Chains A and B, each alone.
Chain A
């Protein structure tokens, strides 16, 4: 069993690297690129919601902040290299301003604050037309260019985004197994016991929220400069709920789960487009099915199936 698992990871990576050849340079690859960006956003959400247990409905707004920061900065003529830092910085400041007062309190205050924050960000984007382009969005955003090298075409973007996702997953894995990661899960499992163990739970919650927001900000930066067109539609409250659904369906607290959930729920609507409005019915039924059959998300179903198979083999 262990052997199979060790074989599985490189196989998946190989399949992912071959994906552009199968998808071709077009719409399918564009969907795949957006799926990868969503993976990074959901990995960010996992820090605060999956591991620290704080409900965050503002992840789409942080994603939007990152995207608009990059778009506005590059359109104003700043070199691309500055944009990841700017986007991360804007997300970090917003997260601190929201998190510092809210996360001092226990229970679900963050959910309410972030819903309000998402709406404020959306309204600013829609109404600050001279800067944000209002509802029609921003077009012809300068692409990625580093020290004279530019990234051209969707295949090149795919590999770049794939590398970014790999790095994001690696960093998340490292944090999970550090003392900060333990503090996050301890805070989620029992805030009182965490404090009695010497964990500064307020600091832990703020850090998780800030790291998650930076993930969204950086994904937003990559979104703006690889898709090169942004509009408020991509960063609404509905989108924030969708990110939360990706996390729940994939498996809260599991890195592979985040990736499965984000990719599945990005690609599936495109595959099922022919169903029209019926898709929503199927989507609702599918979400309920996963919650009933695999309460820990799809990532939790795998070990359970394996166990059952082992039971059959005996």
Chain B
């Protein structure tokens, strides 16, 4: 097992954001974490990547406890987190944005060139814009750049927080298509947090449903997509 989140509790002051959440991700699979606004999805990702510390519970990465590791150390160990709202660096060019994603790894030019090539193959638009400032990109391009930057750390698991946020439906479709392609080609494990449950369930192998800080359902994505409770609450059918 690649990532194992075991019974984590997280609170902001008095407010309990996560109340004993457990889930896991195996090598090579896409796992979706779905739920409505305020369910605790982003908190879960931020806790895994070390931005927030859990008050109890354990996070195991390849069998080792990482809940006390520094953020940049977790990245170096192969766990990349592509944050909500993309957070591209506006003052850096596209290429510099990608290169800062490689900040934590030992510098080997040939490996970095390989990874750049992969990013450009996945998102050819970026290769046309390498010298442009991050601020000048459209929302879709910024999302591509944020994913590309995360890939430059050469992760074993990529955590994506709302990649569909604020994008046009056609761009969302392309984005999910690329994410699926990435998983198929490189066998990269992906933990996908989404409000767009229909899209997320379509490309995932398994899914967990988070509601007010607790996992209420889990199982193979195809089964959840047919579950009447999910259909009513999240798919709107």
Contacts and interface: CB of A to CB of B under 8 A. Distances in A.
Nearest to B81: A196
A185 interface: yes
Interface residues on B, range: 20 to 34
A185 B101 contact: no
9 contacts: A185-B96, A188-B91, A189-B90, A189-B91, A194-B89, A197-B100, A198-B75, A198-B153, A199-B72
A188 B100 CA distance: 13
Interface string A5-43: 000000000000000000000000000000000000000
Interface in B134-150: 134, 149-150
Interface string A93-120: 0000000000000000000000000000
Where chain B touches its partner, the secondary structure class is loop
A198 B69 CA distance: 12
Contacts of B91: 185, 188-189, 253
Interface string A175-211: 0000100110110111011111111100000000000
Interface of A: 179, 182-183, 185-186, 188-190, 192-200, 253
Contact of A186 (B51, B71, B89, B105): B89
Contacts of A198: 72, 75-76, 101-105, 153
Contacts of A194: 89, 100, 103
Nearest to B87: A193
A255 B77 CA distance: 36
Contact of A197 (B90, B101, B107, B134): B101
B49 A196 contact: yes
B92 interface: yes
Contacts of A189: 89-92, 134
B75 A179 contact: no
Pairs A-B, 7 closest by C-beta atoms: A198-B104, A193-B87, A198-B75, A189-B89, A195-B71, A198-B103, A190-B87
A193 B70 CA distance: 14
A179 B97 CA distance: 11
Contacts of B81: 196
Contacts of B153: 197-198
B21 interface: no
Nearest to A181: B96
A14 to B, nearest CB: 30
Nearest to B105: A198
